[in-house]
Amino acid sequence: MDSTFGPLDAFAFVVFAVIIAAAVVIVVSLGRLPGQLARKWGHPQAAAVNAAGWIGIATGGLLWPLAFIWAFMTSPAASSPKVTGEKQTRGEVKLRSPVQDDRIILEAPAEKEKRP
């Protein structure tokens, strides 16, 4: 039995190290994603969404989709009709999208006509 360490063995170790490093980067990026999105859009429970994202990764990805969906949700108290321009009923939960948020930010509020 030959137990020498050759160039193909070294190449295999380098490839294995690159694969492990890429997997770590992907897992960390996925763990941070729900919290980053929640903070970016001003979610009232951004810290909890962040924690749920990391706990979801620690549980093998079982709870991570819930944290991701939670990052997109707004509560009725957090989004008032003044901000969104939409009427909400009590207990209604709406999903937020970045396109709607950008449109809301870019639109200037209309001024009411002054009557003498």
In-domain check, residue 93: yes
pLDDT in tens, 75-91: 665 555 554 555 555 55
- Residues of the chain with pLDDT > 70, as a percent, come to 63
In-domain check, residue 1: no
In-domain check, residue 40: yes
Q: What is the pLDDT of residue 61?
A: 85
Cβ-based neighbour number of residue 85 at 10 Å:
9
In-domain check, residue 74: yes
Q: Tell me which amino acid residue 101 is.
A: D
What is the span of the domain harbouring residue 57?
Answer: 13-106
Examine the pLDDT at 52 and tell me if it is beyond 50.
yes
In-domain check, residue 5: no
> What does the pLDDT average to over 12-20?
97
In-domain check, residue 96: yes
Helix (H) or strand (E) holding 94: strand 94-95
In-domain check, residue 66: yes
Claim: this prediction has a pTM higher than 0.85? no
Of 90, 49, 56, 105, which Cα lies nearest the Cα of 72?
Answer: 49
In-domain check, residue 73: yes
Cα distances (angstroms) measured from residue 78 to each of 21, 38, 73: 39, 13, 10
Q: Are 66 and 56 in contact (CB under 8 A)?
A: yes
Q: What is the pLDDT of residue 111?
A: 57
Instruction: Count structural domains, the chain.
Output: 1
